[in-house]
Amino acid sequence: IDDLLRDGVAGKRVFVRADLNVPLAGDTITDDGRIRAAVPTISRLAEAGARVIVASHLGRPKGEPDPRFSLAPVARRLGELLGREVAFATDTVGESAKATVAALGDGEVTLLENLRFQAGETAKDDGERAAFADELAALADLYVGDGFGAVHRKHASVFDLPARLPHAAGGLIATEVGVLRRLTDDVRRPYAVVLGGAKVSDKLGVIDHLLERADRILIGGGMAYTFLKAQGHEVGNSLLQEDQLDAVRGYLKRAEERGVEFVLPVDVLAAAEFPDLAAKAPAEPRTVGVDAIPADLMGLDIGPRTQELYAAKLADAATVFWNGPMGVFEHPDFAGGTRAVAQALLDSSAFTVVGGGDSAAAVRLLGFDETAFGHISTGGGASLEYLEGKTLPGLAALED
């Protein structure tokens, strides 16, 4: 983006592919972190006199307009954060988008409606994606890729569009990639990784990769129960991915061979059922050791002894990467584990990176000062795939 700005963008229509995929409750944004992260690049372009066309996806609509996934609330919040009016186009490449873009003056900003309201955005078929990318390209003169959270998607606006316009990486992508390089090249050791979240199947690639690089891997969240079961514990009604047990056993064996320390919960908070997140009624959890999880209970957070253990394992780390909450942090009774890990990151003198939509949202929702962490990534899947060493379509398209 520095090069584009040096060459001058005044009067140019600049398409900014951002990731404004924020969590919504109705039309209330519950965490605006991604919108705030998108602001600097948009501001710089607007201040330089560009006519800025911002575009993003939100959720996973099925290739047609669906009001539940409208970006209208995001346009309002973006306007507040930018301190400028954001004209909202009620479609993506239709009459509203064309008219809104045509009416843009220098330094003005528009947000297009959800890119995924068009089937071409996510189409597997190259031709279908290309046709949609052609329509998007007709709206703009230049392209800035800044939606780090979506760079792992081979989607029209991420992968095909930059090939059609002079393009650059925005400031957010540059920052995110710079940080992730510190986790892959010349990592300061000990390197500890904390992985949580619901499903172990989402983390297989990254575990595989980290077994070659990390010194210590701490496991929490729903995925921990598949590890505990693989070690011979009974996990009651906890989340369990039976089909991943063999893979997990393989990882535990490899970790032992390679001298990588795998740290699993020693106790959990368990309850009879998944808590009601809307009502937040007390769930009356019980603290139980992992060798005594009752058959009729499900583990929903790591327990107090595990919190202490994990804090101790993070205290002397020099680099920490954390992805995925330790429990159902949206409910106050099960937020303790996630809060403890966030606090342990803050207490350590390590370079700390929080990756992932959920863990980043958790840090903010639990009231932590996000500037106290080394870096909070806006990308969940994207940062994991980067760490897996995969080629990310949205970055490859910009490097070209």
Residues taking part in catalysis? 34, 199, 357, 381
* 359 annotated to bind ligand: yes
Q: In what order do the strands lie in the sheet with 142-145?
A: 86-88, 109-111, 51-55, 13-17, 142-145, 167-169
Let me know: does 147 contact 394? Beta carbons within 8 Å.
yes
- Which range of residues in 71-79, 146-154, 247-255, 313-321 is near ligand 3PG by CB under 6 A? 146-154
Q: According to the binding rule CB under 6 A, does residue 23 interact with ligand 3PG?
A: no
Q: Which two tokens stand for residue 265?
A: 């919960």
Phi, psi of 263 (to 5 degrees): -115, 120
Between 149 and 285, name the residue whose CB sits nearer to ligand 3PG.
149
Q: How far is the CB of 172 from ligand 3PG (least distance, A)?
A: 13
* 6 annotated to bind ligand: no
Q: According to the binding rule CB under 6 A, does residue 19 interact with ligand 3PG?
A: yes
Q: According to the binding rule CB under 6 A, does residue 150 interact with ligand 3PG?
A: yes
DSSP reduced 3-state for 123: coil
Among 12, 13, 153, 375, the residue binding ligand 3PG under the rule CB under 6 A is 153
* 358 annotated to bind ligand: yes
Q: According to the binding rule CB under 6 A, does residue 385 interact with ligand 3PG?
A: no
Q: What is the Cα 42 distance to its own chain's centre?
A: 20
* 330 annotated to bind ligand: yes
Question: Helix 304-315 vs helix 336-347: angle between axes, to the nearest 10 degrees?
Answer: 20
Output DSSP code: residue 66: -
Q: According to the binding rule CB under 6 A, does residue 222 interact with ligand 3PG?
A: no
Among 236, 380, 393, 394, the residue binding ligand 3PG under the rule CB under 6 A is 380
Between 60 and 68, name the residue whose CB sits nearer to ligand 3PG.
60
Between 89 and 151, name the residue whose CB sits nearer to ligand 3PG.
151
User: In 10 A of CB 254, how many CB atoms?
Assistant: 15
Which distant-in-sequence residues (6+ apart) come within 8 Å of 32 by Cβ?
Answer: 22, 77, 81
Q: According to the binding rule CB under 6 A, does residue 123 interact with ligand 3PG?
A: no
Which distant-in-sequence residues (6+ apart) come within 8 Å of 61 by Cβ?
Answer: 68, 69, 114, 116, 117
Q: How far is the CB of 57 from ligand 3PG (least distance, A)?
A: 7
Q: According to the binding rule CB under 6 A, does residue 359 interact with ligand 3PG?
A: no
Q: What's at 390, amino acid-wise?
A: K
Q: Which two tokens stand for residue 244?
A: 């991943």
Of residues 55 through 84, those in contact with ligand 3PG by CB under 6 A are 60
Q: What's at 269, amino acid-wise?
A: L
Cα distance between residue 187 and residue 192, in whole Å: 11
Q: Which two tokens stand for residue 321?
A: 């990467």
Strand pairing report for 319-323 and 191-195: parallel
Among 170, 285, 357, 394, the residue binding ligand 3PG under the rule CB under 6 A is 357
**What spatial distance separates the first Cα and last Cα of the chain, rounded to whole Å?**
15
Using alpha carbons, select from 130, 26, 114 the residue that is nearest to residue 75: 114
Between 307 and 378, name the residue whose CB sits nearer to ligand 3PG.
378
Among 381, 383, 385, 388, the residue binding ligand 3PG under the rule CB under 6 A is 381
Q: How far is the CB of 67 from ligand 3PG (least distance, A)?
A: 18
**Annotated binding-site positions for substrate:** 19-21, 34, 57-60, 116, 153
Binding-site residue set for ATP = 203, 299, 330, 356-359
> In the complex, which residues of this chain contact ligand 3PG (CB under 6 A)?
19, 21, 60, 149-150, 153, 357, 380-381
